[in-house]
Structure formats: structure tokens, C-alpha cells
Amino acid sequence: MNINEFREKYNGLINEAQTALTAGDTEKAEKLKNEAQALETKFNDEATTQANKNAKAGVVTLPDLKDVSQPVNGTVVNSITDKTATYENAWAKHLLGKEMSAEETSIYENTNRKFLNDASFTHTTINTPTLIPDTVVAGIWKRAEEQYPLWGDIKGFSVKGTLTFNKHKEIESGDAAWYDEATPTADEKNTFVQLRLDGKELSKSVTVSWKMKTMAIPEFVTFLEQELAERIGVALGLAAYNGNGVDQPTGIKTALNADDEGKKQILNYTGQIKYADMTSLISTLHSSYTNGACFYATNGTVWNQLANIVDGNGRPYFIPDTTSGGVGRLFGYVVKADAGVDEGDLLFGNVTSGVVKNQNAPLSITTETHAKAREDDYVAYTVVDANVLDKKALAILTPKVAATTPAK
């Protein structure tokens, strides 16, 4: 397949995926996205194979070059520059106040003109957000998701603006049924509701002294990545479970407590979690979501509660195991330690299928200088949102709150 055929097929799959996503069919969108990626991999492999064949066909066998000069055959083509690496370097130099090369200046300005939709942007523009390089963004999200696996396990999208999902609520009439020969089949009537991810603003800052700005660029980028990941990770991790849904993403516990349907997914226990509490929790999940479900709890709850659930012979059901992406396994399910979950709570669910998140705007950074304090503030900003797509995919076991006796 030539480049034009590839582009036509690839763009067609991407457009179909976007249409399916807009219609709320995330499964179809994911399938089409995977097909597009497979097509791209196949095309790149074929191009590499052909290039190798061409190279072999054009090999010139040279004689012994001892004391002999030999002209080089071939055509000089434009050199390929890794623009991603160049932009990262230029971006870091801008934050550190270092001089850029002409190539770095050009790539830095063109990238941010597109990001800001501002043709007048230059690298000397003051107090204007600039786009954080993709490599750094990937590092920030990866570190944040490692610290808060609940947020990391939520299925994510990167759609600018509002992302809307159509949720199937119920079949009002016409569901599959048994009929005698003379009875006509009833028409099916479905009820749908919409889930909108409008986006919540997230902003975190890192303060760097002027003395620290003397560090080399790779060390500075790593430092900034770690600091922003830690701060952003805390905000996202806490919001994944307890976000208020007003100026924060809607957390799982908040969503379940919002109505009677969700409250059925929340169970209580007293004192030490027992075997019967666990079986009740697992049974609360809809059977279609059990494959891929995990337990999420704080480190304290994992080791003070889950690790101490024993059988009649005093043997623990909990099996320490760090090879499955968590800290252990319980009743065959992976247990993940997450500091964003309330102490004492145990979340059981398939969050990849039951919860969705969207990054509505790219991660950007703005610099603010404080001359007297000899410090610079690097303020990161993005817009993200999350909400529960299906409450039956989630269940919570929480300590029972003792009733208070009113004062006489």
C-alpha cells in the first residue's frame, strides 16, 4: 500500500472512531482506534522492509581505500530533526532563562502559536501559558497514576471541550420475552440519559529558587516532572474517590451517594472486616463487571483489615503479590493500595468499564518571577473531568458510623 492509500484508510478509521465516541459507543471507538494503530504499524513495517531492500540493491562495493580517495555516490536529502526532543529542550531553556538556538526558537514559537491560537506569540512573551512537551506530560501522568492507581485505571479520553456519553438507563417495554405463535412481538422502547464531562480546572505550582535554576536541563526537566506529578497526583487521586462534582471531578463515592440506586452499592461493616462482609461486597457487583475488577484501599486498610481476614484455621485469605500491579490478591482479585480512598473504606469495582475521565485541555505552564525572594513559580494548568458511567460496576464497603444520642 502506498502513502496515499494508507492515509485514506487511516483517516477513515479515525473519523469513524470519533463518530462512535460522539455517539457514546466507547467500545466501538476503542476497536476502531486499535485498528488504526495496527494499520499504522503494518504500514511502517512494510516501509522499513522496502527501504532495506532498496538499500541492499544500491550497495556499492569499494576497493581497498588505503591511500586512495573515493567519491561518495548518492543524493543529499534534508536531515530529519526530532522536533519533540528539540521542543522539550527549548521549553526547558525558556523556563531556565537560557538562550535558544534559531531552530529551537522557531519550533518553540510555532508550537505555542498553534496551542494558543495566537500568531503574535514569541518566546519573549511574558506570563503566557506555554505547552508542556508531550514527553514531560507523559512522565507526569505516569508518575501520578503510579501513586494513585484508582485514577490511573479509569478509562481516559483527550477530547477538547465537552465530552458527552449516552448511558442506557432501562428498557421501558419490549424486552426479550416468550410469545405464543399468535402474539406479535412488542416494540422495544429504551431510555437513555446523558453523562457530560464539561471539565474542571486543575492548577498546581512548583517554586524553584534561582540557585536551583543553575542545574543542567535534563536534571531540571526530571525535577519539574517529579514535583508536578506529586502535586497533580494528589489532586487527581483524591478527586477520583471523593471529588465533589462541582469544581472537581465527580468521585466514585460521591456518585454512589447521590441517589438510591447508588446507595445500594454501599455496604457497612463493624470492627474487623469479616469473610461474610467480603462475599456480600463482591456479590453487589453486576456479574458482567467482575472480570477485571480490583480492590482499592489505603495502605493502612490493606494491612490492618484485609491482611487479617482468616479462615477457620487462622490462615489469611490475603496473598501478598506485587507481580499483578498491586500489593496482593484477595479471593482471586488484585488489591491496590491507593491513598485517595477514605481510611477504612474498601472499593471493589471495574473502574475501567464503570468510570470515565477526559482531559479537556492540554497541560500548560506559566512562569511567575519573584525578584526579591529570588524565586520563580511554575504554575501548571489543565482541565480534566471524571464521572461514573455505570454504578453497578462499583461497590464500597465502609465502616458503620455509630448513631449519636441527642443531648437531653
Residue 138, burial from CB neighbour count under 10 angstroms (0-12, 13-18, 19+): exposed
Residue 96 lies inside a defined structural domain of this protein? yes
Q: What is the pLDDT of residue 307?
A: 94
Residue 268 lies inside a defined structural domain of this protein? yes
Same domain? 254 vs 351: yes
Report whether pLDDT(101) > 70.
yes
Same domain? 260 vs 342: yes
The pLDDT tens digits for 24-66 are 677 787 788 788 778 877 877 776 676 666 655 654 444 444 4
Average pLDDT, the chain: 79
Cell, residue 391: 454504578
Report whether pLDDT(81) > 70.
no
Give the residue-averaged pLDDT of 218-235. Answer: 79
The pLDDT tens digits for 296-334 are 999 999 999 999 999 888 899 999 988 888 999 999 999
Q: What is the pLDDT of residue 92?
A: 79
Q: What is the pLDDT of residue 181?
A: 65
Give the residue-averaged pLDDT of 161-185. Answer: 62
The pLDDT tens digits for 113-138 are 777 776 666 555 555 677 777 777 77
Residue 353 lies inside a defined structural domain of this protein? yes
Q: What is the pLDDT of residue 312?
A: 86
Question: Whole-angstrom Cα distance, residue 28 to residue 368?
Answer: 44
Residue 276 lies inside a defined structural domain of this protein? yes
Same domain? 288 vs 352: yes
Residue pair 154/355 in contact by the 8 Å Cβ criterion: yes
pLDDT band at 350 (very low <50, low <70, confident <90, very high): very high
Same domain? 276 vs 393: yes
Same domain? 355 vs 267: yes
Residue 19 lies inside a defined structural domain of this protein? yes
Count, residues in the chain: 408
Same domain? 336 vs 260: yes
**Residue where a domain terminates, one of 72, 94, 125:** 125
Region for residue 50 given its phi and psi (left: phi exceeds 0; alpha: psi -120 to 50; beta: otherwise)? alpha
Report the 10 Å Cβ neighbour count for 207.
14
Same domain? 11 vs 89: no
Domain count, the chain: 3
Residue pair 361/125 in contact by the 8 Å Cβ criterion: no
User: Can you give the pTM of this predicted structure?
Assistant: 0.65
Scanning 243-298, the segments in alpha helix (DSSP H) are: 252-256, 260-263, 275-284
Report whether pLDDT(202) > 60.
yes
The pLDDT tens digits for 89-100 are 887 787 777 788
Residue 202 lies inside a defined structural domain of this protein? no
Give the residue-averaged pLDDT of 221-247. Answer: 85
Residue 268 belongs to domain spanning: 250-361+386-399
Q: What is the pLDDT of residue 99?
A: 81
Q: What are phi and psi of 152, to 5 degrees?
A: -65, -30
Residue 138 lies inside a defined structural domain of this protein? no
Residue 306 lies inside a defined structural domain of this protein? yes
The pLDDT tens digits for 63-72 are 444 444 445 4
Q: What is the pLDDT of residue 391?
A: 94
CATH number at residue 280: 3.30.2320
